[in-house]
């Protein structure tokens, strides 16, 4: 990077329109508004909000934004060109677009002759008229227009001359941006690179107009190259990048802005958003995945939980001495953080680093440090794995440090399950015997499986002493069989995720008996939850502030 002003790339987010095409993703108007406001904070100049008129939800959404507008971003309405053989001013669809009251409108149209004749079943000339009329009409009503050239790359390969005519028509009609869309996602980066460069040189040579529209790029991930395709287009001269948060989108998704922005800004020296906004990228990615209710991709580049996770002793000490040895960027630049994974290969340096994330400063000569490492190795050889069970690891550390409080003591439990062939629900019954604050408690509960029954019985026993237990939930449950070739005689490893509100913590249990392993993880989940929601060492709270802020 030089000290000159870095060249600007205009981000255009389509999470709220193309992103919602993802199978399994659905959002309310409230969700859409929360996402739009978050994207606005991130500094995206264009946010595509939807297609008002195509569905009532999108109409409502634009109305709400008219009443309480975004602070910085342009909210953009999206629509197609008019239908064949009509006029623009007679299209109800375009009236709905105008009613949405945005300054900018994105119009998409056909570039591929096949899509015109076979898809729309009209003539190539009428398609050009549809593009021209629609853009001219919107411009005459005071709208600024972005033109999305659908199926651009396929169209260009099949009938280059016609494809270019569609762009020239859009430009002449007043489109300020021409966005080349790889609608089917089948194009590879070297083709994008060639075609974008060729479009730019063609348009600047052939157009007789004072308007000089800029070029944008819109890619899909069907070839697993959406991000690379967008980068290739930018390097060939495109100035706008369309994409979605977390790469949400139809089929295999759209170009992922969470990958594109750091690549453009940190690696290629373009300017997209301010540094303090880039620092919020990881949090925004996770916030949006919460709002749309999809589990975040832990292995996502830049913003995933595993993106800067390190295993193995030598590796860990190297990365601590000099992060560039195993990290391509500094995780903090995108608001992520380095994570030391506790695993079989761990050395003392991992343990110390891990303890530090819980606010515990251990010295490597301190007996507790060696004791934690030894206990860790011992448990791991029995099949425990603390990579994902950080709450159980915290309890193990408190144990070694002598600071683990005994909040309750389990004496035993019983599970009974009666299955009748052909019966839909098979309830399980659990009884549990525990001692809390010197009182013996015996409780029983039912559930639609043995683990649910056990969890219910335990809470029933604990809630009298610790009312906060009522707010805890069992949010995820994972089972893995170890030494699988010994079948059911093998050991079972259970991971239980518990939570309350937005907090989540994971605990582990291992046993040859799946119910014993589950019970162990459920019990530790309750114990850790109680530590979180009781007076506790300040180091503990620090950890939570850090992890959940």
Rule CB under 8 A: which of 377-406 touch a copy of itself? 385, 387-388
**Residue 89 or 298 having the CB closest to a copy of itself:** 298
Q: Is 420 in the site for a copy of itself (CB under 8 A)?
A: yes
Among 45, 189, 213, 529, binds a copy of itself (CB under 8 A): 189
Geometric angle at alpha carbon 115, from 105 and 222, rounded to 5°: 80
Q: Which residues of 75-100 are buried (b: 16+ CB within 10 A; e: fewer)?
A: bbbbbbbbeeeeebeebebbebbbeb
| Residue 508 binds to a copy of itself (criterion: CB under 8 A) | no
Nearest CA to 261 among 283, 236, 278? Answer: 278
Toward a copy of itself, which CB reaches closer, 210 or 406?
406
Q: Is 1 in the site for a copy of itself (CB under 8 A)?
A: no
* 53 touches a copy of itself by CB under 8 A: no
Interior angle at CA 301, CA 328 and CA 281, nearest 5: 95
Q: Does 299 bind a copy of itself (CB under 8 A)?
A: yes
Single residue of 37, 83, 311, 404 touching a copy of itself by CB under 8 A = 311
Binding residues for a copy of itself restricted to 455-484, rule: CB under 8 A:
455, 473-484
Q: Site for a copy of itself (CB under 8 A): which residue of 70, 318, 395, 463? A: 318
Q: What is the DSSP string of 40-84?
A: HHHT-SEEEEE-BTTBHHHHHHHHHHHHS--SSPEEEEEEEPPPT
Distance from C-alpha of 496 to C-alpha of 434, rounded to nearest angstrom:
20
In the complex with a copy of itself, the residue whose CB is nearer, 144 or 328, is 328
Nearest-approach distance from CB 189 to a copy of itself, in angstroms: 5
Question: How far, rounded to the nearest angstrom, does the alpha carbon of residue 147 sit from its chain's CA centroid?
Answer: 28
Helix (H, G, I), strand (E, B) or coil at 489: helix
- The distance of closest approach from Cβ of residue 385 to a copy of itself in the complex, given in angstroms and rounded to an integer, is 7
Residue 513 touching a copy of itself (CB under 8 A): yes
Angle at 435 between CA 429 and CA 440, to 5 degrees: 80
For position 194 contacting a copy of itself by CB under 8 A, the verdict is: no
Closest approach, Cβ 362 to a copy of itself, in A, equals 24
Asked if 372 and 355 touch (Cβ cutoff 8 Å), the reply is: yes
Position 124 contacts a copy of itself (CB under 8 A):
no
Please pick, from the candidates 324, 367, 406, 549, the single residue that binds a copy of itself as defined by CB under 8 A. 324
Token duo for residue 469:
């237990």
Least distance in angstroms from the C-beta of 288 to a copy of itself: 15
- The binding track of 207-246 with respect to a copy of itself, each residue x by CB under 8 A or -, is --------------xxxxx-xxx-xx--x-----------
Q: Locate 548 and state its tokens.
A: 């959940």
């Amino acid at each position: 990077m030089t000290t000159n002003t870095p060249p600007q790339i205009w981000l255009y987010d389509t999470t709220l329109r193309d992103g919602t095409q993802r199978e399994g993703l659905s959002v309310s108007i409230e969700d859409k508004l929360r996402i739009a406001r978050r994207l606005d904070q991130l500094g995206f100049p264009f946010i595509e909000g939807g297609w008002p008129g195509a569905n009532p939800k999108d109409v409502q959404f634009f109305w709400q934004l008219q009443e309480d507008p975004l602070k910085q971003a342009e909210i953009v309405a999206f629509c197609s060109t008019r239908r064949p053989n009509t006029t623009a001013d007679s299209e109800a669809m375009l009236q709905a677009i105008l009613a949405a009251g945005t300054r900018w409108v994105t119009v998409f149209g056909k570039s591929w002759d096949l899509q015109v004749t076979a898809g729309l079943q009209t003539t190539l000339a009428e398609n050009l008229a549809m593009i021209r009329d629609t853009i001219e009409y919107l411009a005459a009503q005071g709208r600024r227009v972005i033109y999305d050239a659908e199926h651009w790359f396929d169209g260009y390969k099949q009938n280059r001359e016609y494809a270019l005519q569609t762009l020239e028509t859009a430009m002449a009609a007043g489109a300020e941006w021409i966005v080349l869309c790889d609608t089917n996602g089948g194009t590879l980066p070297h083709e994008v690179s060639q075609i974008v460069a060729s479009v730019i040189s063609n348009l600047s040579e052939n157009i007789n107009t004072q308007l000089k529209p800029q070029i944008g790029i819109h890619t899909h991930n069907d070839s697993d190259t959406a991000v690379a395709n967008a980068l290739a287009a930018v390097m060939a001269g495109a100035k706008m990048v369309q994409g979605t948060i977390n790469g949400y989108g139809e089929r295999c998704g759209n170009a992922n802005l969470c990958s594109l922005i750091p690549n453009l800004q940190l690696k290629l020296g373009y300017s997209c958003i301010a540094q303090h906004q880039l620092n919020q990228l990881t949090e925004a990615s996770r916030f949006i995945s919460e709002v749309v209710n999809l589990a975040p991709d832990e292995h996502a580049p830049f913003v995933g939980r595993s993106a800067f996770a390190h295993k193995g002793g030598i590796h860990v000490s190297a990365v601590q001495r000099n992060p560039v040895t195993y990290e391509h960027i500094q995780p903090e630049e995108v608001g992520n953080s380095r994570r030391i994974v506790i695993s079989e290969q761990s050395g003392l340096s991992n343990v110390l680093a891990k303890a530090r994330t819980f606010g515990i400063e251990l010295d490597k000569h301190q007996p507790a440090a060696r004791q934690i490492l030894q206990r860790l190795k011992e448990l791991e050889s029995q099949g425990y794995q603390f990579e994902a069970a950080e709450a159980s690891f915290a309890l193990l550390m408190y144990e070694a440090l002598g600071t683990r409080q005994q909040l309750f003591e389990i004496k035993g439990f019983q599970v009974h399950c009666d299955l009748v062939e052909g019966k839909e629900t098979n309830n399980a019954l659990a009884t549990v015997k525990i001692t809390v604050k010197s009182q013996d408690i015996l409780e029983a509960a039912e559930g639609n499986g043995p683990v649910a029954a056990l969890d219910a019985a335990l809470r029933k026993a604990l809630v009298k002493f610790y009312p906060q237990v009522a707010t805890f939930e069992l949010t995820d449950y994972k089972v893995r069989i170890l030494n699988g070739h010994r079948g059911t005689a093998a050991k079972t490893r259970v991971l239980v995720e518990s939570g309350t509100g937005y907090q989540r913590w994971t605990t582990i249990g291992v046993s040859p008996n799946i119910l014993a392993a589950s019970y162990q993880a459920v019990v530790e989940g309750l114990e850790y939850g109680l530590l979180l929601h009781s007076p506790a060492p300040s180091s503990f709270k620090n950890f939570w502030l850090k992890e959940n802020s």
